[in-house]
Amino acid sequence: MGLFSKIKKTQGWMVFELQADGICVTRVTRMANTRPKVQLAVFFPFAQMDTPTLLSHIHKQLQVKHYECSNVLSSGEYQILTVETPGVPQEELKTAVRWLLKDMLDYHVDDATIDVLDIPVDKNAPARKAMMYVIAARNQLISQRQALFDTAQIPLTVIDIPELAQRNIAALITPAERGLALFSSDQAGSLLTITFNDELYLSRRLDINLTQLGTDDSEQQMHLFEKITLELQRTFDHIDRQYHFISLTKLVLAPATPEMAVLSAYLTNNLYIPVEVLDLSTAFDLTPELQDTTQQSRFWMSLGAALRHEDKVL
């Protein structure tokens, strides 16, 4: 199995996210004209168990064999790169992409599992060179991850990435024909995505986590806020230059933790674009446990991955 494997029909996903202190398991169902309903959002702490043992325990408790299952990689387990789309037939695309990557990876390209994601162009604008995202992960990591789930008898179908999970949440809250900047932060760091018409156009990672944003050191906090503001301004300027057809409607911060509320107040005074904090209950029908914003932060990426559509397969 490679990244973003083609999937079968399913009524929903059971998503596994391996975190530093345990495993998040999430399931969301979708129906027309209503908010997606969170059916399951459970955190299983390691609590003296290793990962294979805990996965086996989860398998027995949740009867996961009845679902399509996916695993969300963490930020350090893959690379996402932007390249010009090679002008080759579709069947030759991945071979051409591998050639482009040979000097871009910090390991041999033959040791990489890759997949691609188109960045759509403005159909009404003059022709310009098409671009695409290439997602690369080490073969060894993908094989080990597959073996880990196989040992626990969990039918892992897809390996996903946070950028696409966040894109899925953005699609729930973005007005038609408008762009959205979505900035999330958890204990692993922060992720900024720009989406338009349910497509990912740009992503940026920042090595600033939620705990750092809530520091009691006001001078350090101000430094972090300034760093985020500069990155946001640079990103918005890039979008204006490269994607004239995208009109950003607002910047949304998530989840709605006290740290994000303070950051929102600062950004409102320092950016030209409207800023708001996302209450996840406006996008999802949440379980009672997820009313806690700390839990929203923990489950943010797995909730997004659980929104995966068949027509979004790469």
Question: Which residues touch 148 (CB under 8 Å, ≥6 apart)?
Answer: 51, 52, 55
Q: What is the mean pLDDT of residues 163-182?
A: 95
At 253, phi and psi to the nearest 5? Answer: -105, 140
Delimit the CATH 3.30.420.380 region(s) of the chain. 75-140
Q: Is residue 212's pLDDT more than 70?
A: yes
Question: Which CATH code, of 3.40.50.12780, 3.30.420.40, 3.90.1150.10, 1.50.40.10, is assigned to 13-74+142-160?
Answer: 3.30.420.40
Write the class of the CATH domain 75-140: alpha beta
Peptide bond into 274 cis (omega under 30): no
Delimit the CATH 3.30.420.40 region(s) of the chain. 13-74+142-160, 162-312
Domain 162-312 coded CATH 3.40.50.2300: no
Q: Is residue 78's pLDDT more than 80?
A: yes
For residue range 220-244, list pLDDT tens digits in order: 999 999 999 999 999 999 999 999 8
For residue range 93-140, list pLDDT tens digits in order: 989 999 999 889 999 999 999 999 999 887 766 666 889 999 999 999
Cα separation of 199 and 202, whole Å? 9
Q: Which amino acid is at 192?
A: L
Query: Could you tell me if 37 and 303 are in contact, meaning their C-beta atoms sit under 8 angstroms apart?
Result: no
For residue 23, the cross-strand partners are 18, 44
Average model confidence (pLDDT) across the chain: 91
